[in-house]
Amino acid sequence: MAKKITTMFFCQECGYESAKWMGQCPACKSWNTFVEEKVNATSTGMGGTVKSTGIKDIPKPVGIGDISLNEEDRINTGIDELDRVLGGGIVQGSLTLVGGDPGIGKSTLLLQMCRLLSEKGHKVLYISGEESLKQIKLRAVRIGEFSNSMLLLCETNLGIIEEAIRKASPEIVIIDSIQTMNQEELSAAPGSVSQVREATNMFLKIAKGMNISIFIVGHVTKEGTVAGPRVLEHMVDSVLYFEGDRHASYRILRGVKNRFGSTNEIGVFEMRREGLIEVENPSEYMLSGKPAGASGSVVVCSIEGTRPILIEIQALVCRTNFGIPRRQTTGTDFNRVNLLMAVLEKRVGLQIGDCDAYVNIAGGMKVTEPAIDLGIVLAIVSSFKNRPIDEKTLVFGEVGLSGEVRAVSMAMQRVNEAKKLGFDTVIMPKVCMEGMDKIDGIKIIGVGGIAEAIDQI
């Protein structure tokens, strides 16, 4: 059999294959996403292609009742915030994708995880395609002491990596990063659609076949998505995104997909000289430095996964010096703020149409939950009327187009978080008060509309 080189076209969004270029992908309906790449095929004498499967033992189906689950099927990383996002620890045989901006701390977090796992006696293999062994050692020295249970390998050839994993038989493997891996049989450059897909498929087979937990580091594009085909996120078991401003000290690890736990869980870390440190109480951390007696500042409660987090919303409203008022938001949806300002003007009669408005989520958090609507409204009113809101007051609730304050989920957990941090007043939707237990030491005010809420400040 001879090898011949053929040309295929791949969709950069979903990985769809085509023998010819097309303007629109028939699978994901994206436009102008097809790129041309050369692939190798093993040809027969008749001009067709064949593929050797090499299957020796055909697995037999097993009844679901015959499968037993043990606590040992999960491995605790030693980092509580990471375990929370993963759903309680690392599931054996799982494939996890970790994405984030350059320099955000992806490799540092995984290196810290490797150190803690190796200290517990777990065998860890760290494979880097971006750094040399000495460069990894320099970062490792800054983090702490490592045991010999952690192995290092600098390689990008998938064939060599597969053989190294089979010989070492580790429990956990780190691939840093998937965009640097390449398969010699493919003529495409590393990081291309075909290379990333083939590399991920190989690691998926290793994870499931050898019961090895594999973490893949993925680069992100300027839009914030993982570079490569969209199918990459569908193939893995979990997708974690590392968020935050690289110039700020805090980082947020967010789970956007998890087959073994709840999604949208977050873990909060602080970047220090010795590495990433867990933030056990994110609410207290986010509220540090809050000004006292300043107008336009209000504390709201948002739910991230199963965790309530208290954050500060700041608003600045002033008369414009230009013909068109300027509106700017940081950390929340720009269109949502414009909508809430329109509701204020229509339902309450607040004349803010000719005012500049700036809304900021303090601390750099990005929150889009509707439960912060009432906090944004009260912050805008407080700044416009120059009337400070009591710093011991917490606000949450969704605002509708008629000016009504609608119910939100997990109201009891939000009130308990406010109680824990010393707040004595909570303004919340009236409909959420039904069936709520009375909490000593905290005053709960239920409001049915934004006009009632404004009267309380």
CB 183 within 8 A of CB 143: no
Whole-model pTM: value is 0.76
Q: What's the pLDDT at 40?
A: 60
Q: What's the pLDDT at 423?
A: 93
Q: What's the pLDDT at 41?
A: 53
Same domain, 267 and 319: no
Task: Please give the share of the chain, as a percent, with pLDDT higher than 90.
Answer: 51
Same domain, 114 and 179: yes
What does the mean pLDDT of the chain come to? Answer: 86
Number of independent structural domains in the chain: 3
Residue 44 has pLDDT above 50, yes or no: no
Angstrom distances, CA of residue 438 to CA of 308, 390, 409, 419, 441: 19, 22, 18, 12, 10
Residue 79 lies in a domain: yes
Same domain, 343 and 376: yes
Q: What's the pLDDT at 224?
A: 63
Instruction: Assign residue 107 the CATH number of its domain.
Output: 3.40.50.300
Residue 46 has pLDDT above 70, yes or no: no
Task: Among 229, 264, 280, give the residue marking a domain's end.
Answer: 280
Summarised one tens digit per residue, pLDDT across range 104-155 is: 889 999 999 999 999 999 999 999 998 899 999 888 888 888 888 899 999 9
Q: What's the pLDDT at 246?
A: 64
Same domain, 121 and 264: yes
Angstrom distances, CA of residue 79 to CA of 85, 217, 429: 10, 18, 36
Among 48-52, 82-86, 171-175, 393-397, the minimum mean pLDDT is found in: 48-52
Summarised one tens digit per residue, pLDDT across range 247-271 is: 677 888 988 899 988 877 888 898 8
Same domain, 260 and 295: no
Residue 248 lies in a domain: yes
Same domain, 252 and 220: yes
Residue 417 lies in a domain: yes
Q: What's the pLDDT at 127?
A: 95
Summarised one tens digit per residue, pLDDT across range 290-342 is: 888 899 999 999 998 778 999 999 999 999 888 889 999 999 999 999 999 99
Summarised one tens digit per residue, pLDDT across range 433-450 is: 887 878 888 999 999 999
Same domain, 268 and 303: no
Backbone φ, ψ for residue 235 (5° rounding): -75, -35
Instruction: Assign residue 365 the CATH number of its domain.
Output: 3.30.230.10
Same domain, 317 and 221: no
The Cα 150–Cα 123 span in angstroms is 6
Q: What's the pLDDT at 42?
A: 46
Summarised one tens digit per residue, pLDDT across range 337-367 is: 999 999 999 999 999 988 999 999 987 788 8
Q: Is the peptide bond between 177 and the residue preceding it cis, with omega within 30 degrees of 0?
A: yes
Q: What's the pLDDT at 1?
A: 44
The Cα 183–Cα 195 span in angstroms is 7
Q: What's the pLDDT at 56?
A: 54
Residue 17 lies in a domain: yes
Q: What's the pLDDT at 355?
A: 93
Q: What's the pLDDT at 197?
A: 86
Same domain, 12 and 82: no
Residue 48 lies in a domain: no
The Cα 225–Cα 406 span in angstroms is 33
Residue 61 lies in a domain: no
Domain that residue 101 falls in:
74-280
Q: What is the mean pLDDT of residues 59-71?
A: 78
Task: Among 280, 300, 329, give the residue marking a domain's end.
Answer: 280
Same domain, 211 and 270: yes
Residue 294 lies in a domain: yes
